Structure 1
C-alpha cells in the first residue's frame, strides 16, 4: 500500500501505513495563520487516517513559535486533537539541534513533564530514527494498556 500524501507549499503530510505514523514536514517558516491552518490539516489527516502517532518535522522552521502560538497549542489545539481523534495522541517533534536548544531554554514553552498524565504526549528529538522509535514504544505501551483494560471489568 502506498503512503497517502497531502501537501501545501508550507506543509507536507504523508501517512505511512507500514509504520502507522503520520509524518508532517514543515517545508518553510510559516506565518501564525499558516501555522494554525497547517495544524488543522494535520488534525484532519490524523482523523482521516485514524492515526494518533505523528512525527512533526520542524527542522526547516527557523525558530520556535511565539507565546501566542504556544498558548494556542497548549490551551486549544492539543485538547481539540484528543476530542477529534477519540484517543490519546503521541507527537514526536523533530528539530534542528540549535532550535531544540532554544525551545528548551524558552520559559514560555512548557517542559516535557507538563505533558505527563495528559491524553497527548510530546517528545522532542534531533534524530528522526529516535523519534520514530519513541512513537513505536508509545504505541506498544498504549496497545498493552488497552489489552490489559479489556481483560478487566471496571464496575
Structure 2
C-alpha cells in the first residue's frame, strides 16, 4: 500500500497573457513553512515585474494572525516598493474562511487600501477576482 503524495504547499505560476502571478495553495500551512514560500512568491514577482497577484487559498482553513500582520505591515508594502508601483492581491477564498476573515474585528474592506501602497480584496469566484485585478491601473504608483 503506497501513501499518496501530498500536494505542494503552493503552485506558483506567472500568466504573461494577463500579467498576473497565480498562487494556488494546496493545504493549510504551518506558519513556519511560510517564509520560504513567500520568498518564492517574491522572486517570481520580481523576475516578471508583476504587481497583480491571484492567491487561491480555498484549501486553507484559517489565517495565522502573526503572518497576516507581517504581510500587511512589511511584505506587501515592501513588494510594492521593489516592484515600483501599487501591488494588488486578490484572494480567492472558500465560504468558511471568507466568513472567518470578514468577521475579524480588524477586518477592513478593499476601500480601506485607497492611497496605500497595496490593495487586497477577497472573492468567492475566480472570474470576479480576475476581473478585479484586470480593472486595476497598470501604472499606479506606490501610494
Normalised by the length of structure 1, the TM-score is 0.79
- Is the contact between residue 14 and residue 21 of structure 2 (CA under 8 Å) also seen in structure 1? yes
Deviation at 1:102, TM superposition (A): 0.8
Higher alpha-carbon Rg:
1
Q: Equivalent residue for 2:129?
A: 131
Deviates more, 1:81-90 or 1:111-120: 111-120
Q: Which has more helix, going by share of residues?
A: 1
Q: Equivalent residue for 1:56?
A: 55
SS in 1 for 2:21: strand
Larger RCO of the pair (alpha carbons < 8 Å, separation 6+):
2
**Which ranges of structure 2 fall in alignment gaps of 5 or more residues?**
1-6
Give distance in 2, aligned partners of 1:43 and 1:25.
15
Give distance in 1, aligned partners of 2:132 and 2:111.
16
Q: Equivalent residue for 2:17?
A: 18
Give distance in 1, aligned partners of 2:113 and 2:42.
18
Give distance in 2, aligned partners of 1:131 and 1:95.
10
Q: Equivalent residue for 1:107?
A: 105
User: Where do 4+ consecutive residues of structure 1 move more than 2 Å?
Assistant: 108-114
